[in-house]
Structure 1
Amino acid sequence: MSAPSAQSRVSPELIVLAGCLIALITFGPRASVGLFQIPMTTEFGWGRDTFSLAIAFQNLLWGLGQPFAGAVADRFGAFKVLCAGALLYALGLVVMAYASTPGVLHLGAGVLIGFGLSGCSFNLVLGAFGKLLPEQWRPMAFGAGTAAGSFGQFLFPPIGNVLIDSFGWHQALVIFAASVLLVMPLALALATRPTAGTATAGAANVPNQSIKQALTEAFQHRSYVLLVLGFFTCGFQLAFITAHLPAYLKDAGLSAAVGGWTLAVIGLANAFGSLGSGWLSTRMSKRWLLAWIYFGRSVAIAAFILLPASPVTSIAFGISIGLLWLSTVPPTSSLVMLMFGTRYMAMLYGFAFFSHQVGGFLGVWLGGELYEIYGSYTVVWWLSIALGIASALINLPIKERPVERGPALQPAE
């Protein structure tokens, strides 16, 4: 077993294992949310726009809280943030389980789960990896953490289907809430110290740089802005598919089990896609990797909606889109660290993730709204295709090098 890093008394292997388990546990219930749409709307007589708005708020508030959670973790350490996030997440699932009005649903599924995810999702795990792990471990650890979240998506939807069939959707959510509390003991291994961080092979960290200076530097850096804009599409596509794919397949005459297994296959394929993306991030241009991922998603979506819906085409779509699902995360997080170093890694990646979640908000919300208007999801599917092509083009001008800093912001010798 490798020796502990300078930032932690825990070995790199245990840090990666704990981080991967946290990513798996926190991603699973969130990725299974689409399973609860039809049971909830059927029981209470709500339209799909009501459910969609709650999940849209969840995505938006997850993104809104992420930079702040990242800044607190960067400044004071990750452990307390992960524990607070897990408590909010679990509470939100319980409130969602007993929601009987749209307002309570929006509070639980939207506000509490959204802010909970901002404090305990894989984004905080990646920030901790950047601080705690030796440089040579980081790219593959980013891929492993993302893949673990994907494996949570593989495990939880089939389990969710079984729980709903056996105990009802209310109890299924309560059981999911209990599983989220396992994050708290696991977070001990990711207890980063409240320090300025370590140096990286990319941009050198700046000991005297304030949060305001770091944000000004980032948002005046053209490549970072392009990266943030391109990440919008990732959130739009993923959130729309997660929330609405089971209902889309149900409308096509397929069983709920097909929807659950398609989400599960997406998660399984994503585990391989994320690991592969982490590996490729160390061996090829990250901007070109991102461009090909976004373009590939557009091709996969177009093929899926143009072919007749069937269990075979659904599973095939799950495999193809799954390989590209969160494979954007390793090159995106690696580019943030390359440009700016690790000191404000969690915060700056958090702002990129906020763009991702604004896209997620619009993807889920428009899915429900346009379904109620047109009676189908066709418009949103084609919008997803167009956004994928746009993001492929947006990522191409990115320059893969550390930010250029003036003498006043260079580290002291």
Structure 2
Amino acid sequence: MTGTNGGELDARVVAEVGDFRLDVEVAVAASEVLAVLGPNGSGKSTLLAAIAGHHPLTAGAVRIGERVLSRTPTIDTGAIDAGAAEVDLAERSVGLLGQHPLLFPHLTALENVAFGPRAQGMAKREARVAASDWLDRVGLTGLERRLPSALSGGQQQRVALARVLAAQPDVLLLDEPFAALDVQTAAAMRRLVAEQRSTLGIPTLLVTHDPLDAIVLADRAAILHTGRIVQQGPTAEVLGHPRTPFAAALAGVNLLTGVAIARDAVRVAGASGPIALRGTGEALRVGTPASVVFSPASVHARAAASADPSQSADNAWFGAVASLEPARGGVRIVTDEHPDLAIDVPSTAAVALDLSTGSRLAFHVAPADVSVRTHS
């Protein structure tokens, strides 16, 4: 169930929207999912629009296998034939699914899905059979005759996914397709896309602001910030050990930088003195810049009075509460000593600690919960 001219997606995209400039390179192998994460305004949707042919390139080239979809003569296109013609929008064989289903309101679910195959020249009866099969795949058997207005938001998005896949695209572009859905429906859609990806055999580019999308669906992840990719690699590496404060905030983890004091330990500065943090991961060279990453929820807090203030231990430190903020399932603590470090404690623990601004606490994080890497 794939297009006839499939292969790796290879794109160098330079595109401009007003004063904003996007300049990135992405390569996605057949059967691979690359997640591009970033906040609103980072260029995610512009990247997909340029690949789909809905936004012109300022420079660069887009290729799927041996087919050149877009090309400008302003940069060296390498192996791309300089005389190759740009593929018309209708013949690009690119499937694009966004936040909103954008179904034809006057067509039934079956007719919406059959539209792609019919536009490609498939006979009406054959197209309907194919559409019925895809509706079955996305769990909508029995709803073939319903108009979009008679379907829920989640059902409409399932129809939209079936319509994209029924056209047998050579590449699939997903533009935050779960963002407009409720939590339960979004989870069901993620499972559905995960189930289908193994049978598609085509490159898939997923743009999102939600790390969960990347964790569930992607082989690799890239962090897009102000029009440029600032980190990319295997999803577990990118989200497990971000390289920049921005990427760490996006992944929801603490990132601290310092100097390696052992193969598995980093000393980081603090207002009340340095902290030695041991962890697992890359072997470090003593004396070189290094970073540590850990989840705010992995830090354990207790009243400082119950700990020995003179005690100096790895992965342990003291701090005075500077602010308290709501967090999922509890409270987020920020201290005066480390204002960029977040500690999340469950609601029951927060009540037991009788937290308030100025409270002095002792913190500890297990080495198994800390990732250490050479800092570049």
For the criterion TM > 0.5, the same-fold answer is no
TM class by shorter-chain length? Answer: under 0.3
TM-score (norm 1): 0.22
Higher helix share: 1
TM-score if structure 2 supplies the norm length?
A: 0.24
Q: Which has the larger radius of gyration?
A: 2
Q: Which of the two has greater strand per residue? A: 2
